[in-house]
Chains A and B, each alone.
Chain A
Amino acid sequence: MKYKYKVGCSIENLKGVRDFIRTSLKNHGISDLEVSEMVLAMDEMCSNLMIHAHDCNPNEIFELHILVDKDDPVVFEIIDEGTAFDINQFKEPTMDNIIHEKRKGGLGIRLVKSIMDSVEYEQQRNKCICRLAKKVNFN
């Protein structure tokens, strides 16, 4: 199954992103806890993109695709025009730095890397696809 969602880059739309993911993954026999982890990781990815790549401009739009098939890893694709912010190139600050220098930025990326099995980027002409995958248990 493939699910698609278009979203404008306002952080007010993050709630809609989370609801889209929860609804899409609802009837596939994935545990609530695993769904909630993927919702969290994708919220972090989308809020990063909205804030850092699009300055929260609601007129700039990206697409979120979810591919879910029994016994395969769940795959999320963020399809965006423009250049990627590659989280694999980003060195997260240590927890000490986050506390003492109040660097709130690194926490989200730390969550994404802890939750997802892989994060890959593909540049296609004027599009950038960020693909995240997670192996889950299907009941």
Chain B
Amino acid sequence: MILVGENINIMSKTIGAAIRNRDAATIQQLARQQAGAGMDYLDLNIGPARRDGPELMEWIVKTVQEVVELPLSLDTTNPDAMEAGLKVHRGKAIINSISLQPERLERMLPLAKQYGAAVVGLLWGTEGMPRDADDRAALCVELVQRVMDAGVPPEDILIDPIVTPVSADIGQVIAVVEFMSAFKDLAPGCKSIVGLSNVSNGTPTELRPHLNRAYLAMLMKYGLDAAIVNAFDEELVKLARGEMPEILNLVHRIMDGERFDVNELPEKERIYAKTTLVLMGKVVYSHSWLEA
């Protein structure tokens, strides 16, 4: 699986400040640490960056690639910033992201072919958030067609079904899994990607890794190809690298409807089992789901 480190993100207080102050040392240190944690790509989220986008993106791409060999995922809605980043990027970049919204297609999509970059296709429709797995399927087919028409080969298309917080609407969490179950047939040759940490947004910080990991294990059942993740969650990285087959097996059996007496399982298995049940919508989410 392709792992994309999410940690360089303008929304974080300290990193946000470092980006705004063009504090290269802080950014570079974080880049090195993520590379050391085994990431394949680093995501550079500079936000909408409406005012200084191009200059900022160019700066941050250069700054990061000065110290790490890794290719980057350029994360902004600003097409000028995107292009500025692609111009100076070394290797095969990821454009993160486009969607069927005309303003994002028209300016961003041509950049993929022009710069030979891969592209994240967000399943966000012209009418907004997809409501369920079916909406996602329809959007996916349309978006893949549009991107291929623009000359991007399927293996460079990363479809993002939009992960949303477990505490907001469990139906959406389930819908992503259902969508993934048909993905290989819906978009042959294309890849799938998720912004994994979204699933645990709004939950207590110390518990977030449990949700992220279990959800990753669930999505791996259907061959998830890539994930944008917290680079510093070691267990998550091991899981993604296939080093925890027994856990994957457990989660997938639960998804297939097998029943376990979860409280009888050893500690680690118990956590995965309980969390999987929450993410499947079998148990209602509350901050104390692990204690019940």
A and B together in one complex: no
Q: Which residues of B contact A (CB under 8 A)?
A: none
Q: Which residues of A contact B (CB under 8 A)?
A: none
